[in-house]
Homo-oligomer: A and B are copies of this chain.
Amino acid sequence: MVDVTIYEVARRAGVSIATVSRALRGTGPVAARTREKVLKAVEELNFTPSRLGVSLAEGRHAANGIVFPDLAGPYYTQVLLGYEEVASELGRSVVILSTKGRTRVHELVRDLAGRVDGLLVFGHTVSDAQVAELVGVGMPLVFVSREPLPGADTLRSENTASARALAGHLLGHGYERFTFLGAPLATGDDVDERWQGVRSVLGGAIEAVPTGEYTVECGYDAALRLLRSAARPRAVVCSDDEVALGVLLAAEELGLAVPDDLAVTGWDDIMAARHARPALTTIRQPMRELGARAARALDELITGARDTPAHLVLTTELVVRASCGHHHQEECT
């Protein structure tokens, strides 16, 4: 790592480092002839300004952070990609932090916060105390999948109305006993809203069963237990597609036909939802756009273009496929 500095460029071009800086960033006037000399020297020395030097002088990192539990499944992945793409367009790079299975998350987040100008945080991956701390020091923050809180942006997909629509659709199939599989882990997060939504329609006809995690494995295990019990429900509404896929597996193993013996629905419309057999009825949410918007929101907060927290809700779409019951004109996207 032989580093050529701005001093060498300046010396070679026969100017001061201030002029080199100005010529390169286009700030302040520089005579055409001088600029040429500088650019020539830059070219010859293959000079790139040290990011560290620039950042220290500018007082900003030109980087965004993102905190997610893990990358299991397409949800986080898609949000991440949308985030990185837009951040990159805005000249910021993205520093990641996965909290799953990590001890000392507090320290990790603190370290991350020291490396970036703003942070995207998923749900409740960061403790409330630390969130307050971050808000306190003025760190620009945007949350995805978390109830609005003062001092930070919030960005989420619509959940409640979609959940009601889904519940309504299931009622239309004539089912009477339901289970919500993948009970919410935290009040106010996406899954909690979904649960509240379906319950507001189904009332006592649905009960929540936890899975521990929102994964295929956990969904599978929980579903085995549930489906073997005497009180087997007629329809299972899952917290997300992964859990639903687990249910599909369990049903197959137990010889239950979906949707004839058991209706199953997911949430997110991940790739595998379409490919599952039967294909999953689910709610599509704009995951990638969630990330993209988060990056823009953060940019506004960082640059000071906006200083009051915003809370945005993106619309979703009910995607009806085979897993929830038979339809006259099936739409299997």
Q: What residues on B are CB-neighbors of A236 within 8 Å?
A: none
A249 to B272, CA, bound (A): 11
User: Which B residues are CB-close (under 8 A) to A97?
Assistant: 84, 88, 93
Q: Does A94 contact B (CB under 8 A)?
A: yes
CB within 8 Å of B: which of A98-135? Answer: 98, 101-102, 108, 110-112, 114-115
Bound Cα distance from A193 to B28, whole angstroms: 54
Q: Which of A14-22, A53-61, A221-229 is the contact stretch?
A: A53-61
Which of B77, B85, B277 contacts A77, CB < 8 Å? B77
Assuming A51-B115, A94-B95, A114-B48, is B71 touching A80 (CB within 8 A)? yes
Chain B: CB-nearest residue to A54: B114
How many residues on the A side are at the interface (Cβ–Cβ under 8 A)?
Answer: 46
Question: Quick check: is A31 within 8 A (CB to CB) of the other chain?
Answer: no
Cβ of A297 under 8 Å from chain B: no
Q: Kindly identify which residue among B52, B71, B114 contacts A56, using a CB–CB cutoff of 8 Å.
A: B52
Q: In the complex, A216→B98 CA distance in Å?
A: 27
Residue-wise, chain A 41-79 has the 8 Å CB interface mask toward B (1 for contact) of 000000010111101100001010000001100000100
A138 within 8 A of B: yes
Whether A94 lies near B93 (C-beta < 8 A) is no
Q: Choose among B52, B80, B139 the residue that contacts A52 (Cβ–Cβ < 8 A).
A: B52
Contact A81 B70 (CB under 8 A): yes
- A305 contacts the other chain (Cβ, under 8 Å)? no
CA–CA, A71 and B68, complex, Å: 15
A95 touches B95 (CB 8 A): yes
Q: Are B96 and A84 in contact (CB under 8 A)?
A: yes
A52's nearest neighbour on chain B, judged by CB, is B56
- A111 and B92 CA atoms in complex are apart in Å by 10
A41 to B224, CA, bound (A): 56
A332 to B277, CA, bound (A): 17
When distances are taken between beta carbons in the complex, the residues of chain B under 8 Å from A115 are: 51, 63, 93
> In this assembly, does A230 line the interface, its C-beta being within 8 Å of a C-beta of chain B?
no
- Say how far A48's CB is from chain B's closest CB, in angstroms: 6
28 A-B pairs (CB sep. < 8 Å):
A1-B138, A1-B139, A2-B137, A48-B110, A50-B114, A51-B61, A51-B114, A63-B115, A70-B81, A71-B71, A71-B81, A77-B77, A81-B98, A84-B96, A84-B97, A88-B108, A93-B96, A93-B115, A94-B95, A94-B96, A95-B95, A95-B96, A216-B271, A245-B275, A249-B275, A252-B277, A272-B275, A277-B277
Top 10 nearest A-B pairs (CB, nearest first) are A51-B114, A71-B77, A1-B138, A52-B56, A51-B115, A93-B95, A52-B55, A95-B95, A56-B56, A94-B96
Seen from chain A, the residues whose Cβ lies within 8 Å of a Cβ on chain B are 1-2, 48, 50-53, 55-56, 61, 63, 70-71, 77, 80-81, 84-85, 88, 93-98, 101-102, 108, 110-112, 114-115, 137-139, 216, 245, 248-249, 252, 271-272, 275-277
